Amino acid sequence: MQLKVQAFGLLAEIVGNNIIVDKQTDTDSLKKQLAVQFPSLVDIKYAIAVDKKIIAGNTLINEASIIALLPPFSGG
């Protein structure tokens, strides 16, 4: 199984808007997997949103989760 992950801003420029990652059960393991799949992400600061909320700590995820990688915001 695989997870669909959206990326935005600077991250989208590096990995594309939509990426596919091997299925992970929580966001900590997702981060590790992302670092393996996309080594260029290691030095970049980003937050993870699950179901449109930024996670505060390690969060369980499944195939139905809406997952997004968000670099620091710069609106306005």
Based on the shown chain and the rule CB under 8 A, indicate whether residue 59 belongs to the binding site for another protein.
no
Backbone angles phi, psi at 72, to 5 degrees: -55, 140
Which two structure tokens, joined as six digits, stand for 69?
């990688």
Instruction: Identify whether the C-beta of residue 61 lies closer than 8 Å to the C-beta of residue 51.
Output: no
From the list 5-13, 20-28, 29-37, 55-63, the region that binds another protein by CB under 8 A is: 5-13
Asked whether position 3 contacts another protein by CB under 8 A, the answer is: no
Per the structure block, which two tokens stand in for 41?
A: 């992400």
- Which of 1, 56, 57, 76 is close enough to bind another protein by CB under 8 A? 76
Binding residues among 16-55 for another protein as defined by CB under 8 A = 49, 51-52
Stretch that binds another protein, among 9-17, 20-28, 33-41, 55-63 (CB under 8 A): 9-17
**32: burial class by Cβ within 10 Å (0-12, 13-18, 19+)?**
exposed
